[in-house]
A and B are shown apart, each in its own frame.
Chain A
Amino acid sequence: MLSALAILALVLSQEQEPAAAPLEPRTLPPGGYADLGSMPDHLRVIARANNGTLVELARTAEGRPVLALSLGASQAPGRPEVMIVANLEGDRIAATELALLLARHCGVGSALTEVATVHFIPLANPDAAVRAAAGEEVWRGGAVDEDRDGLLDEDGPRDLDGDGRALWMRVPDPSASSRPDPADARATDTAERAEGESGGRLLREGGDADGDRELVEDPPGGIRVDVNFPQRWREHRSESGPFALSTPEGRGLADFLLAHPHIALVIVLDDQDNSAEPPKGKDRMERDASDLLTGDAALLKLWSKRLYGDDGKAAGSSKPRDGADGAGSFADWAYFQVGALTLTSSLWSPPLDAKLEGAEELPKDASEEAKLLRWADLTYGGAAFVPWSAFNHPQRGAVEIGGWLPLVRANPPIEEMEGIAARWTGFLDSLASDFARLEWDRVEVTDLGGGVYEARATLVNRGLMPTMSSAGAQNRRPRPLMVSFEVPGGEILAGRKVQSVERLDGLGGTREFRWMYRSDSGAVAQARASSQTAGEALVSLEVSR
């Protein structure tokens, strides 16, 4: 069984191409990406062509719908479901793009929708995403009074130098702990103040609109949807929201997941990544847990191999965004509190450490940003970063303005999406044979005489996935497997009419059941097993010859 899987993994894994400098500069994001403002239209077209349904999960503060597209729905009982959520942070437009491509792939006749219902939420945070794509790089929604002065969003980024966009400022500040990197003076590195180097502070381009002598301290918006979920929700941080699930987007996603107990797998395409290099996991789920459980980690390892072969590290990134450790995230909530098996992927990360053709070698101790610049210069012909230029700031005097264009660091150029999509369409197809499947095996009924019988039967899970995640078995949120026994007109002498089994492991997890019963009429007894993610299995307990 395992070797078959290994072969499958090999077949599906993509060859890692050495990172090479493109001949032509690539298109700067969001160039080439689907227009986020037209997301409802994109989804409507896919739904119409594939017998899908569209449901509005939430309406954002700015009036945009958060839509779920469901494909492959059917009346068949016990059909497993998959939920694919993308771009909770808003600036992960590649995640949205991939989810759209996957939805198009999962139309009528795809391997996955043959056996499962798939719910796509390609744009979980449309307000932030539309703003990000428009160059604002504001990936927060909902007005917050960050500086607690009773005024809302009154001091945000502003274009000071008249180049049509608000980027970044380098402001001299002897107490700051950053400085230009000697390897690339455009990059910011940690200052070694002991050596007497002067510090600087990196701020969004802007002034002091409210006259409080603080620069850009109360920008528009403020609540991040992906820290607004109740697992390790951090109270009293302005970005967390006034309470968990205070955002309509968060609440809509949460209620959708809770209303679909047949969801066997949640895939989150955003900042977090547990699939490129799955962690080893822990055995017990503690309060405020953040570590995958070992049983689920093993499954993710298998899937990681399918996605990336042995080269997950180079292909994906498991490094979260600055400060993002999964606290308050949708993925952590879905896994630790709802108990849904959850795979997360950040899809892509720029090749910082790879040898880049045509690029000069950087010193060993070069900062991450210097490495990023080297890649970006090659990829975009220098267009991704606006060189710092001196500016006389009305409040701070001599500063520099320039820096990264929005979206560049979080998304690949559109030209790379084809390869990424190929990896993921193959993976989704392969999931079709992974769902937990119940079968009765080794059924034995013995006539003990006098109308008394003993029945033994073993329930087997033939799928790769367990009937419930290890997290679910510990938080006891998902419904366990239920096994019921019935003998028409008869009477149970030993055993239970209804019982529950917490879970069956994937790949042949078994559990034996035994009943003794009296049936004077000789009526045949029946046992029925049902699971929320693995469907039903019925067996007639005929007397063995």
Chain B
Amino acid sequence: MMNGKLRKQIGAIATWVLTFILMVIICVPGLWVVLTAFRPNGEVLAKPPVWIPENPSLNNFAKIFGFGADQVAIPVPAYFANSLIIALTSTAIALLIGMSGGYAFARYRFRFKNGLFLGLMLSRTVPGIALSLPIFMIWSRIGLIDAKLGLIIVYVALNVPFTIWLIDGFFRQIPKEMSEAAQVDGCTRWQAFWKIEFPLAKSGIASAGIFAFLTSWNEYALASNLTRSTDSKTLPVGLMDFTAQFTIDWAGMSAMAVIIIIPALILTFLVQKHLIAGLTFGGVKG
């Protein structure tokens, strides 16, 4: 009796200890970067290490955004704008294409359906760096190197397969009879889609959009080879500018990292529930 109770207690304690360790491993590296973003560079290099920032300040952020005296040579605001424009545009286009394709997979039976689906997915497996070679060669011939448009087109293609996978899953969660009932009620298929199926799949589609946005926002392998200047460089590529300098500006780099992380954190928080549902539904129910 006593033994069972004891074992249960040990189990509970072990669970908590393991969870604690897990959270430490997940959170500490990121937290360290965040803390560094608020330190003066001297404190970063200090020996013995300064654990908690003694003089936290926003100087690093002011610096990378070009305020104050000791601004860095890296044009972060331009990169930020590029990232935003490229990610938003490519997401919007990918969503339109993905909605149309996802709906086709969810609602129609047609020849080559499985083959097409597999083909779409396989197109996504091509490693970014491998795809970047021919695209680099083609883009440089047609003037899309170092252009936002060039990157937008690539990111649309990068996001379409996964967007279709997710949206297919969300549409399939809506019973087919909903659309049929609406058609019997007097809707055209088009009306039935916009008045019934779209509103029901809306939150799922939104999360597919967020996922596409993050993919574009985070992408590096292609962007680093297809961009050259402030015209089109995105934040992840810009982050590497720091390493090109003679001494690494850890504090400035960390501040820039925080700027890249923030949208990811917020959007992940918004999207997490739907994303899991979409992935598992599309995958398990076929």
**Do A and B assemble together?**
no
A-side residues, CB < 8 A to B, are none
